Chains A and B, each alone.
Chain A
Amino acid sequence: MSAVTVAVVGGPDGVDRAKTSALVALAAGAGGDAGDIGVVALEAAWTSARQAAALVAHLDAVGSEVLVLASSHRAKELGALVAHARGAGLIIDAHAIERDEQGRLVGRKRELGGTWDVACAVAGPAVVLAKPPPADEIELSPVPLPEADVVGRDVEVLARTEHAGDGRPALADATVVVAGGRGLEGDLTPVRVLADALGGAVGATRDIVEDGWIGHETMVGQTGTMVSPRLYIGAGISGAPHHRLGMQASEVIVAINLDADAPIMEIADFAVVGSAADVLLQAAAEIAARRAR
């Protein structure tokens, strides 16, 4: 069995330990013992083509057949370039991987907005863009990869800006997401208050992002961030298709809307017909009161 390589990109604070641990736990499904999994770190400032060149050189050198990356927009660009260079098959957005009886790598994933379970099989080299569930944190010492030559023309980075984090968990990784829509009437304070009471991330619909109520990084949906937390609370959100596709794989869905017939109510586990702001603030106050007892 060939070794498996997990590649992570260093962020402003180095490598994300929780996320990397979850990737390693997922990678173990590809077979072999834990020592068979190599963890390498890529320079965040590099272009995708430079990262891909370094990864391909490393995978060739160590004879690693399977590459596991945390799925993100940027990782999809990187994963595609590596897969092409190595003639590998791509498994996209898998939450688990395993070997089947023929030795093929099988990725388990959800399709069509979380309504179907699909198993995708690759024989031979594979690149897995993973969406692993949380796992226990482990000790990690990722090996930084040296530069390798990019074949052909590359893109040039003209500028990069970083937006300040809000101290809450990242939307894509959060186990709880509280999201707001037009029904909040411009004030997202109730969403933030309940998100903080639950230790969750703040999400938003495309409408209110386009209206400028909140930043684009909070947009939940097929073209924003696809989320599948343990708990999703949608407040003042009607549930347009592009939003629903981005959140309907969530384990438990709570919807709060004045309109009992809003599409999001159909896919909810718990639906409240009422004013979103009132219900969110009361729930947050209730959690605080019960904790104080």
Chain B
Amino acid sequence: MRVVVLVKQVPDISSDRSLEVDGRLRRTPSEAVLNELDEGGLETALRSADALGAELVAITMGPAQASAAARKALQVGAALGIHVCDDALAGSDVVGTARVLAAAIRLLEQEDPADPVALVVAGMSALDGLGSVVPALVAAELGWPIVSYSAKVSIDAGDGSLASDAGGHVTITRATDHGTEELRTSLPAVVSVTDTIAALRVPSFATMLAARKATLRTLTVADLGLTTDEVGLAGARATIADARPRPPRPPVQVVTDTGSAGSELVDFLVARGLVEVSA
């Protein structure tokens, strides 16, 4: 049995991020980091793999330098890293991205039908686009249930079978607009997790050593059985029509409180029409 974790390399949010003229994200290798929200996903995936007695496979998609995200997963104990890398992927929208990731998961199952994927774990969002929809789209591609924004995940391996009442299940808790809810589904399923779920473990000497020996498997669009018009800009339903930086904010007005800053704040709010004080 296998557990898959989806990871992504994104520009550091404290760096000076920008878009290219065609609206695509500028990906400067020196400012690329593992999406912070994937750390909780990776930790959850490691624990889930333990609970299921499964191996962890990390899958990432992106340009050449993006393999670092999968390598990070190897360093904390993933057994295999897969990097889907192909020039034809540039300009992919969320639907195309999910198609590629789902195809990679299906390929794993086709190559070794005796070793099915029981669970896919992802961070709730990537800090570049913040769309949050890729996990649900991957689930839809695979025809599996989705539980997103999980703040707590527990795995019950059951009798070890899949897609059955007696088999493996995942139970999650998440916040809703009005409160919280607890959901349960049979495996295989896709789970996305919030950043508060768990801190990523520190790599051990053994896993670091294993990661150094491990090879990352690189796959192309053709390897996944997809055609280049299904992915990237060619296959995108949504494209960027225009992108421009917003004008910089006017210089900040700074007041040091000497006992009347509260009143000065009210003066500012009144001048901007942000508070009604007159009858």
Contact = CB atoms under 8 A, between A and B. Distances in A.
Interface string A173-201: 00010000000000000000000011000
Interface stretch (B81-89, B113-121, B211-219, B249-257): B249-257
Contact of B252 (A48, A89, A157, A269): A269
Contacts of A110: 246
Interface in B89-143: 93-95, 98, 124-125, 127-133, 136-137, 140-141, 143
Contacts, number: 274
A31 interface: no
A127 B237 CA distance: 11
Contacts of B179: 160-163
Interface residues of B, number: 85
Nearest to A254: B265
A61 interface: no
Contacts of B239: 120-122
A290 B266 contact: yes
Nearest to A12: B178
A85 interface: yes
Contact of A271 (B94, B148, B253): B253
A89 B146 contact: no
Interface stretch (B11-19, B46-54, B58-66, B220-228): B11-19
B230 to A, nearest CB: 12
B237 A124 contact: yes
Contact of A241 (B14, B130, B242, B266): B14
Interface stretch (B1-9, B67-75, B200-208, B267-275): B267-275
A252 interface: yes
A30 B267 CA distance: 41
B82 to A, nearest CB: 23
A220 interface: no
A252 B274 contact: yes
A167 to B, nearest CB: 14
B84 to A, nearest CB: 19
Contact of B37 (A73, A114, A170, A223): A223
Nearest to B277: A290
A93 B279 CA distance: 37
A86 B140 CA distance: 11
B130 A222 contact: yes
Nearest to B273: A230
B182 A88 contact: no
B163 interface: yes
A112 to B, nearest CB: 5
Nearest to A175: B274
Interface stretch (A20-28, A35-43, A278-286): A278-286
A83 B148 contact: no
B246 A117 contact: yes
A230 B272 CA distance: 10
A162 B279 CA distance: 38
B194 interface: yes
A137 interface: no
B38 to A, nearest CB: 12
Given A77-B136, A162-B179, A210-B196, A119 B257 contact: no
Interface string B168-203: 000100111111111111100100001110000000
Interface in B130-169: 130-133, 136-137, 140-141, 143-149, 163
B263 interface: yes
A152 interface: yes
Nearest to B12: A241
Given A11-B178, A285-B262, A116 B196 contact: no
A114 B247 CA distance: 11
B29 interface: no
B192 to A, nearest CB: 9
B99 to A, nearest CB: 10
**What 3 A-B pairs come out closest when comparing CB atoms?**
A282-B262, A274-B257, A89-B237
16 contacts: A47-B183, A80-B133, A80-B146, A91-B238, A119-B241, A120-B239, A121-B240, A124-B237, A155-B147, A162-B178, A242-B195, A245-B130, A273-B257, A290-B266, A291-B279, A293-B279
Given A73-B149, A120-B241, 6 more contacts: A73-B132, A115-B17, A117-B244, A121-B240, A122-B238, A269-B249
